[in-house]
């Protein structure tokens, strides 16, 4: 623990406080387990009419949103071929290829990786074997850990912007800076006024669990860069097939409101270790505006924990 965190307290007091935080998290996990058990009848009912594993949704005349389970990617059809973003995994990529063949006989010529996380960039082999070129930001390429299902990029770029032109369409690959993972880019299709944004915006849902491999404060800065771009709709990496640009602003405001709420709650609670109290106060402050967002009650404690770490330890 950093020196400042235990100032004016004995080691025994620090140990007790850490134990209280662990108990709070264990109680939350137990609650989620009970909630899951209570939800089993609903799950069985849903199983009788299962949601298709994948689908392809038209967003504009030439842009589509491909879904595999809870992940999404963008498909752009041009006069000279197809451009796809994150292949997700090998099964998803095969499904994506099958769906593309239903709308065009043109080949996939480019695959663009949004960042470095396996759950988005795995599975490109099927496209690579048919001649597609894979593009990724250099920072993402350098920080993509080895995985047999991840095909290394053929081409990388270091600048903040890189343009891919194919037939009658152009896609701008724009590096948004430190935020989530490494080398995170958004992919803008100017002609269609659509932007593919992955992981840093999931419409109408709070931050994913405890923001793994993410800096909430850096993400706020990244989202401001995204807001400054010219587009009308997004294709997110999770969530609905598409959503209005206003969802980018909504997520940035959520992160800002969360940051302020955690700071206020910590001051009222009198200690950053009063974890349950801080979470209760944050929920009360944010519920009027965000209570209807997905996972508000399930993940808020984890969102709070991540912001507390940034505020206490600087990372």
d(CA 174, CA 103): 28
Decide the pairing of beta strands 194-197 and 233-236: parallel
pLDDT at 48 > cutoff 90: no
13 has pLDDT over 90: no
Closest CA to 65 of 203, 236, 190, 179: 236
Say how far apart CA 262 and CA 30 lie, in whole Å: 24
Q: Which CATH superfamily hosts domain 54-198?
A: Ribonuclease Z/Hydroxyacylglutathione hydrolase-like (3.60.15.10)
pLDDT of residue 202: 98
Q: What is the mean pLDDT of residues 102-117?
A: 98
Whether 6 shows a pLDDT value over 90: the answer reads: no
Average pLDDT of 126-137?
98
Distance CA 204, CA 78 (A): 31
pLDDT recorded at residue 50: 78
Spatial separation of the C-alpha atoms in residues 254 and 220, rounded to whole Å? 9
Contact (CB, 8 A) for 55 and 67: yes
Please check whether residue 87 is in contact with residue 66, taking contact to mean a CB–CB distance below 8 angstroms.
no
Tell me the per-residue pLDDT of 189-221, one tens digit each, with 9 for 90 and over.
999 999 999 999 999 999 999 999 999 999 999
Closest by Cα among 101, 308, 111 to 216: 308
CB-based contacts of 10, cutoff 8 Å, min separation 6:
none
Is the pLDDT at 55 greater than 70, yes or no? Answer: yes
Least trusted range by pLDDT, from 7-11, 62-66, 159-163, 254-258: 7-11
Mapped onto helix, strand or coil, the DSSP state of residue 134 is strand
pLDDT of residue 18: 54
* Predicted local distance difference test score (pLDDT) of residue 19: 56
Residues belonging to the chain? 315
**pLDDT at 41 (0 to 100):** 44
Rounded-to-integer distance, Cα 171 and Cα 79, Å: 14
Domain ranges of the chain: 54-198
Residue 198's pLDDT is 98
Bridge partner residues of 171 (DSSP): 164
46-60, 125-139, 171-185: least confidently modelled range: 46-60
Segment 63-108, tens digit of pLDDT: 999 999 999 999 999 999 999 999 999 999 999 999 999 999 999 9
Burial 184-215 (b: 16+ CB within 10 A, else e): bbbbbbebbebbbbbbbbbbebbbbebbeebb
62/75 Cα distance (integer angstroms): 8
Tell me how far CA of residue 289 lies from CA of 204, 238, 294, in angstroms.
11, 21, 12
Amino acid 51: pLDDT? 82
Percentage of the chain surpassing pLDDT 70?
A: 84
Judge whether residue 136 has pLDDT over 90: yes
Exposed / middle / buried, residue 262 (Cβ in 10 Å: 0-12, 13-18, 19+): buried
Q: How many degrees, rounded to 5, is the angle at CA 70 between CA 188 and CA 226?
A: 25
Instruction: Determine the pLDDT at residue 24.
Output: 54
């Amino acid at each position: 623990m950093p020196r400042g965190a235990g100032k004016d307290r004995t080691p025994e007091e620090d140990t007790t406080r850490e134990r209280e935080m662990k108990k709070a998290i264990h109680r939350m996990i137990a609650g989620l387990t009970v909630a899951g058990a209570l939800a089993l009848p609903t799950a069985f009912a849903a199983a009788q009419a299962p949601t298709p594993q994948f689908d392809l949704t038209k967003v504009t005349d030439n842009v589509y949103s491909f879904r595999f389970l809870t992940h999404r990617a963008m498909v752009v059809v041009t006069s000279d071929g197809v451009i796809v973003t994150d292949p997700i995994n090998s099964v998803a990529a095969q499904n994506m290829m099958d769906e593309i063949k239903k709308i065009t006989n043109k080949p996939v010529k480019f695959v663009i990786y949004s960042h470095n996380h396996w759950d988005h960039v795995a599975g490109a082999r099927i496209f690579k074997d048919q001649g597609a070129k894979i593009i990724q930001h250099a920072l993402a390429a350098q920080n993509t850990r080895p995985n047999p299902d991840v095909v290394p990029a053929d081409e990388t770029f270091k600048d903040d912007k890189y343009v891919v032109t194919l037939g009658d369409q152009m896609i701008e690959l724009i590096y948004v800076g430190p935020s989530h993972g490494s080398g995170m880019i958004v992919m803008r299709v100017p002609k269609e006024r659509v932007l593919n944004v992955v992981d840093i915006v999931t419409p109408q849902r709070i931050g994913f669990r405890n923001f793994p491999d993410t800096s909430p404060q850096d993400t706020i800065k990244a989202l401001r860069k995204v807001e400054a771009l010219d587009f009308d709709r997004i294709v997110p990496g999770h969530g609905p097939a598409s959503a209005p640009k206003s969802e980018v602003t909504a997520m940035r405001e959520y992160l800002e409101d969360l940051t302020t709420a955690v700071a206020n709650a910590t001051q009222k609670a009198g200690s950053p270790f009063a974890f349950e109290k801080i979470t209760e106060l944050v929920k009360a402050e944010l519920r009027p505006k965000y209570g209807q967002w997905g996972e508000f009650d399930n993940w808020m404690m984890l969102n709070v924990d991540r912001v507390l770490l940034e505020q206490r330890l600087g990372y």
